[in-house]
Amino acid sequence: MELRIDRRALVPVVQQIVDALTCWIRCHDPAPGTRLLSVRKIAHINLLSQSCVFEACERLVAQGVLASRHAGGYVVATPASNSAEQQDASFCQLPLGGGGLPESWRESDDLAYAIREVSRTDMAGLFNYSSPLGLPALRQQILKGLKPLDINVEDSQILTTAGASQGLDLIVRTLLKPGDCVVVESPGYPMLFDLLRLHGVSMLEVARTPSGPDIAALEALLRRWRPRGMFINSFHHNPTGSSLAPAVAQRVLQLAREHGVQVIEDDVYADLNCGPGKRLAALDDSVIYVGSYSKTLSSSLRIGFVAASSEVIARLARVKMICSMGTSGFCESVLARLLANGAYRKLVQRQQQRLNRDRQAVLQLLEDADWEVFAKPASGLFIWARSRVADYDQVHRQARRFGVLLSSTTAFGPSGPVDEWQRINVACACDPRARAFFQATAPDRPQAF
């Protein structure tokens, strides 16, 4: 019974054991009364202390998952599957194609401290709506964070949102209408495609290359269709992990100016970047810039922002108040404290360092398994890759065998599948299940004698 405990994770070891045992029971669906391995044996197999395993088992007894026997040992106390659990079939699977950091990477201490401080000292943040543009203290911190990116805006040019998803929704609701067409990258962000379909906006696909959108194809689309806007990732493109080359960025902006196209730069993974490079919003102040803290700090806080001209921000703010009565003053106060005291900056530095280390290991794994890599990113969360020797069915069969959940091949294409490419989440790819999966898809090589 291998529990795959990650000793680098900030989640306590006992809690990891609880989660792993619960996962094992749900996946294997043992009959009630099935005896688990002894505490000593579980500890020996996983190089754990017996006291940690014992405490984890006692917690599961308290939860009604296990039962303790007088003669010693633990057995399964209840059926491991019911209708609710069956609906959550992916509970035990490793989300190798996921779009965010796994829970084991999240750090709660500084966040919990900031929550206590706001609860104790900021009654307005605890009970009131935020202002239409967002909490002034948070907007000031966002302005400071944009300066190193050379995005120079004023206070009136920042609007906080409930995550980047609300920012994109406000932009589509306010600046576009049914029947309009916009340029999107393929492959690209599935939720954006769904949002545009919901609002009746047509999509013109431009292929993403390792250095950015295909410029020749983009120019042809702009000349023929004259779209209203273009949605683009400059750095750490989702799902390919690629970033804009400087020459491509300049050409994109030149074409947008020539054809009157509004550029919307989605940069939700900005804080995972540790290399050089210019954002489009730093090169052209007409670009609408969308950012977020969900990918790094907490998806539950739901805080993002839009930076644009004062006129655009005023229009977005009116729609924001109509749709949601504003954002959470409490969540914004918590984030403002973490930004002001430096805790957030230190958090993303640790995430960058860990991703950089794991990314090199993952790229080597992919090379050893003979996978083709679309672009070798220097930072960020994603690698876009596909097996050279195993077809789609073989890859997914091996993924199911090792408990690995891959991304859907239809998710990232606005109008259909994107061949056999897979989004690889670097933060999940060093898990033993992912390593075993990649090794299983490798070609059979003759042994050396």
CATH number of the domain within which 180 lies: 3.40.640.10
252 inside domain: yes
**Three-point CA angle 94, 273, 354, nearest 5°:** 50
Quote the tokens at residue 430.
């060093």
What is the per-residue pLDDT for 418?
66
Query: What counts of helices (H) and strands (E) characterise the chain?
Result: 17, 15
Same domain? For 293 and 319 the reply is yes
Q: Are strands 181-186 and 371-373 parallel, antiparallel or unpaired?
A: unpaired
171 inside domain: yes
DSSP-based three-state secondary structure for 94: strand
110 inside domain: no
Please compute the mean of the pLDDT values over residues 198-223 and round it to a whole number.
97
Same domain? For 238 and 286 the reply is yes
Same domain? For 197 and 332 the reply is yes
Same domain? For 336 and 350 the reply is no
Q: How many domains does the chain have?
A: 3
What is the per-residue pLDDT for 30?
84
Last residue of a domain, one of 39, 60, 84: 84
DSSP of 39-51, one letter per residue? HHHHHHHHT--HH
Handedness of CA 26, 27, 32, 37 (dihedral sign): negative
What is the per-residue pLDDT for 445?
56
User: Residue 10 — very low, low, confident or very high, per pLDDT cuts 50/70/90?
Assistant: low
Please compute the mean of the pLDDT values over residues 105-114 and round it to a whole number.
88
Last residue of a domain, one of 321, 340, 359: 340
Write down the mean pLDDT value for the chain: 89
Same domain? For 420 and 290 the reply is no
Same domain? For 188 and 295 the reply is yes
Please compute the mean of the pLDDT values over residues 166-176 and round it to a whole number.
97
Please compute the mean of the pLDDT values over residues 33-62 and round it to a whole number.
90
CATH code of the domain covering residue 71: 1.10.10.10
C-alpha 145/C-alpha 345 separation (Å) is: 10
4 inside domain: no
| pLDDT score of 416 more than 80 | no
What is the per-residue pLDDT for 446?
52
| pLDDT score of 85 more than 50 | no
Same domain? For 196 and 163 the reply is yes
pTM: 0.84
What is the per-residue pLDDT for 449?
43
C-alpha 21/C-alpha 27 separation (Å) is: 10
CB of 381 closer than 8 Å to CB of 425:
yes
305 inside domain: yes
Same domain? For 165 and 298 the reply is yes
C-alpha 187/C-alpha 122 separation (Å) is: 44
C-alpha 119/C-alpha 334 separation (Å) is: 9
User: Residue 8 — very low, low, confident or very high, per pLDDT cuts 50/70/90?
Assistant: confident
Handedness of CA 347, 353, 355, 358 (dihedral sign): negative
| pLDDT score of 81 more than 70 | no
Same domain? For 199 and 315 the reply is yes
Please compute the mean of the pLDDT values over residues 45-69 and round it to a whole number.
89
Same domain? For 232 and 368 the reply is no
Last residue of a domain, one of 301, 317, 340: 340
Where is pLDDT greater, at 109 or 24?
Answer: 109
Which domain covers residue 67, as residue numbers? 13-84
DSSP-based three-state secondary structure for 355: helix
24 φ, ψ to 5°?
-60, -45
Element (H, E) at 169: helix 163-175
89 inside domain: no
101 inside domain: no
CB of 238 closer than 8 Å to CB of 165:
no
User: Residue 79 — very low, low, confident or very high, per pLDDT cuts 50/70/90?
Assistant: low
Same domain? For 238 and 322 the reply is yes
| pLDDT score of 174 more than 50 | yes
User: Residue 28 — very low, low, confident or very high, per pLDDT cuts 50/70/90?
Assistant: confident
CATH code of the domain covering residue 355: 3.90.1150.10
Quote the tokens at residue 147.
């300066």
Q: What is the DSSP letter of 128?
A: S
pLDDT tens digit sequence for 195-207: 999 999 999 999 9
273 inside domain: yes
| pLDDT score of 208 more than 90 | yes
Distances (CA, A) of 365 to 189, 311, 434: 26, 49, 10
**What residue type is 75 in one-letter code?**
V
Same domain? For 317 and 395 the reply is no
User: Residue 428 — very low, low, confident or very high, per pLDDT cuts 50/70/90?
Assistant: very high
pLDDT tens digit sequence for 231-282: 999 999 999 999 999 999 999 999 999 999 999 999 999 999 987 888 999 9
